Amino acid sequence: MTFLQSWMLWGLFAASIPIIIHLLNRRRHKTVMWAAMQFLLKATRESRGKKKLRHILILTCRALGIAALATAAARPLLSGMLGWGGGKPDLVVLILDRSASMEATPKNGTVPRRDLALQRVKNALNDFQGTRLVLIDSASGQPQEVPSPDVLDRISSAAPTDTAADIATLAGRAAEFLTESPGRAELWIASDLQKSNWKPENDRWTSVRAALSSLPQPPKLRILSLGGEPSPNQSIRLLSSHRAGPQLVLDIEISRSDDSAAPVNLPLTATLNGGARSTTNVNVAGQNFRFRKVIPVPPNEESGYGWLSIPGDGNLRDNAAFFAYGPARPIKSLLIAPPGEAGDYISIAAAPAGHASQSIERIDPAALSRLETDGIASIFWAAPLPTGQVAETLNRFLIDGGVVVFFAPQGESTASFLGLSWSAITTAEKDKYFILDSWDHDDGLLRDGLDGTPLPAERFKAVKRRLPEGEATALARWDDGKTFVTRRVVERGTAWFVGSQPDYTWSNLGDADILLPGAQRAVADGAQRFDAGYLADIGSKAAAPRAGEGRARLDDYGAPVPSNEAYEAGIQRFGERVMALNRPAVEDDPEILSNDALKGLLQGTGYSLFEDQSLSVSSSGPSDIWRGFLVAMLFFLISEALLCLPKKSAADAVPLPGRPSKV
């Protein structure tokens, strides 16, 4: 317990005044033996013990009332964590969430959640003198002994980062550390309970619960939730980046925490190669606004880097997106299809007129003995599924980040690839069609455009179809619930299976309003494998230097911390390579883990959850409990007054002869 006005504690000496007065009054009276009083003393001797106890209680209430008043005047503060009770532990293991979302400030506040968490932990540990503190931060994931709580907010392991967090893995490491640390321990987790960081579907939570409960002395688990309503915030994220000749094409998303649909003008600043800056206003409508920005590449510069930024707001870690680019290169695709209408339409959609940088090579499957994928962005496959050496080559192509779109073949196809195969051809009833009923508007080849315009997929009709069979993610379905488009992710690459083909004896898929945007998205996604070497998420393997490479930061955005550069977004040089590192996309997910979900994750651990909905600077620290001492003072004074009331005597209850009774 600490005090805002500790000098007022001198007033506690005033609690001795009633005792001093009592002692002085006892000394003031001189006892004189008087024979007539012996009878009265004898009559009251039996009740003297009760009276003495009553006087002691009165004296105690007076002293405690004055002490409570003096303590309230000193403004006592009780640490929120200390108030969790249970006495002082020998060891506290603190799991600190340092993810980008922890830099959000609460509504009407100015201090980020991470700083608020450190403040509360420091105040609590100041009351635990002699308790060891071990920090496991979400960025490094390694246990670190902290010599004193006072330095907790000054060490690099507690500084802000642009990383994501994996609370389940961190809790598992804490359990491993506790197995080697005997004594009474507590495990504290300071987090904003962002669902993407807690991963409630992760099976690792089962082993975490088992590991904690199997310890010889299971630790007390404390969850410090720093959720609550955040300050208004806008974030910017780079969806994709690719070089197209003398231009750099950036797909961007700006998200707003405000659920208002009213559009807002937001200045967007583009910085190229650390020098030239240009600012344009973006009219952001809705909570999520996607758009494309084209930046001219300076002449005679084959490679470079830059970043996009918006004004600072409720979270300073999500106001910039970084990019890097290399030399321009043509985008080439392959088409594996027999002669016919389907292959013709696919060729036009994958390399339309006016796209000089795009080309497509068509190969008859009958002449396909081996497949060359060097320099290929995407492959369109309108033939029976590959087997043998070709299948192995195609699998390596997917692993390297390529995109393959399989269309339902016309001939018989009994082969399988990636565990998927084609069903037999089914034909619709006469004068009826297979109608597309539902599709994912946010993901896949049929997703809405960057401006939110949906594809007219409801116009799609088919008289023939083949169903992709096997375990994969369905992103479009027919009106009878059967799968039309399914996706299988293979490491960095993606394989798509489309249950029809652009042949008018099958369907109207050859119409440009569906096939063209779908094919162009496949080409663009495949071309990113060439630009992927310039982009990575903080915390991923790709964001770390290779053996023998150094690390140097090239941009000057924000306030870089050299000791923390491995966990900060920005432009970094690894040897001869230049990489643009951005925060993971999951950090922009606002969904918070519910109390019921948290209860399921930590069932059987006996955890305590302490939430702070306002999280202002004053409420995030110790609790101001002076009002409680005022209530205690009133209680003691009222008790003293009640004890001082004269006791009703028996003489008042029984009327004497000649004396009227009281009514």
Q: pLDDT tens digit string along 287-334? A: 888 899 999 998 888 899 999 999 988 899 999 999 999 888 888 999
> Measured between alpha carbons, how far is 305 from 553 in angstroms, rounded to an integer?
12
> Measured between alpha carbons, how far is 540 from 549 in angstroms, rounded to an integer?
16
> Measured between alpha carbons, how far is 304 from 579 in angstroms, rounded to an integer?
10
652 with 662: CB under 8 angstroms? yes
What pLDDT sits at residue 494?
95
Residue 484 has pLDDT above 60, yes or no: yes
Average pLDDT estimate for 356-372: 89
439 with 446: CB under 8 angstroms? yes
Residue 618 has pLDDT above 60, yes or no: no
Residue 199 has pLDDT above 90, yes or no: yes
Indicate the range of 43-57, 130-144, 452-466, 520-534 predicted with least confidence.
Answer: 43-57
Band of pLDDT at residue 260, cut at 50, 70 and 90: low
Residue 382 has pLDDT above 50, yes or no: yes
204-213 helix and 167-179 helix, angle to the nearest 10 degrees: 30
* Helix H or strand E segment including 596: helix 595-601
Residue 620 has pLDDT above 60, yes or no: no
What pLDDT sits at residue 399?
92
> Measured between alpha carbons, how far is 418 from 469 in angstroms, rounded to an integer?
11
Average pLDDT estimate for 327-351: 92
Indicate the range of 147-151, 213-217, 506-510, 638-642 predicted with least confidence.
Answer: 638-642
What pLDDT sits at residue 460?
93
Residue 91 has pLDDT above 80, yes or no: yes
Average pLDDT estimate for 193-205: 93
Neighbours of 485 (CB within 10 A): 25
- Residues in Cβ contact with 354 at an 8 Å cutoff, skipping those fewer than 6 apart: none
Average pLDDT estimate for 428-437: 92
What pLDDT sits at residue 19?
79
Closest CA to 468 of 476, 458, 460: 476
Band of pLDDT at residue 1, cut at 50, 70 and 90: low
Average pLDDT estimate for 220-240: 88
Residue 622 has pLDDT above 60, yes or no: no
Residue 269 has pLDDT above 50, yes or no: yes
Band of pLDDT at residue 654, cut at 50, 70 and 90: low
Residue 641 has pLDDT above 90, yes or no: no
What pLDDT sits at residue 72?
84
Residue 249 has pLDDT above 60, yes or no: yes
Pairing outcome for strands 483-490 and 473-478? antiparallel
Band of pLDDT at residue 84, cut at 50, 70 and 90: very low
Measured over the CA atoms of residue 346, residue 408, residue 453 and residue 264, the dihedral's sign is negative
Query: Of residues 7 and 297, which shows the higher confidence score?
Result: 297
- For the chain, the average pLDDT equals 86
> Measured between alpha carbons, how far is 486 from 469 in angstroms, rounded to an integer?
9
Please list, residue by residue across 517-530, b when 16 or more beta carbons sit within 10 angstroms of its beta carbon and e when fewer do: bbbbbbbbbbbbbb
Band of pLDDT at residue 615, cut at 50, 70 and 90: very low
Q: What one-letter code names the amino acid at 453?
A: T
Average pLDDT estimate for 193-209: 93
Give the bridge partners for 76, in sequence order: 3
Residue 197 has pLDDT above 70, yes or no: yes
109 with 68: CB under 8 angstroms? no
What pLDDT sits at residue 663?
44
Decide: residue 418, CB within 10 A, 0-12 exposed, 13-18 middle, 19+ buried: buried
Average pLDDT estimate for 514-524: 92
Measured over the CA atoms of residue 633, residue 636, residue 640 and residue 642, the dihedral's sign is positive
- Residues in Cβ contact with 264 at an 8 Å cutoff, skipping those fewer than 6 apart: 256, 283, 284
> Measured between alpha carbons, how far is 603 from 599 in angstroms, rounded to an integer?
6
Give the bridge partners for 379, in sequence order: 334, 404
> Measured between alpha carbons, how far is 621 from 425 in angstroms, rounded to an integer?
68
Residue 396 has pLDDT above 90, yes or no: yes
Band of pLDDT at residue 357, cut at 50, 70 and 90: confident
What pLDDT sits at residue 240?
87
Both tokens of 377, joined, read: 């962005």
Average pLDDT estimate for 499-510: 94
- CA dihedral defined by 497, 501, 507, 512, rounded to 10 degrees? 100
Residue 465 has pLDDT above 90, yes or no: yes
Q: How many CA within 13 A on the CB side of residue 376?
A: 23
Residue 635 has pLDDT above 70, yes or no: yes
What pLDDT sits at residue 40?
59
229 with 613: CB under 8 angstroms? yes
∠ Cα 572 577 578 (to 5°):
40
Measured over the CA atoms of residue 644, residue 648, residue 649 and residue 655, the dihedral's sign is positive
> Measured between alpha carbons, how far is 235 from 290 in angstroms, rounded to an integer?
12
Average pLDDT estimate for 354-370: 87
What pLDDT sits at residue 657?
57
Give the bridge partners for 577, in sequence order: 574
Radius of gyration of the chain (CA): 37
194 with 115: CB under 8 angstroms? no
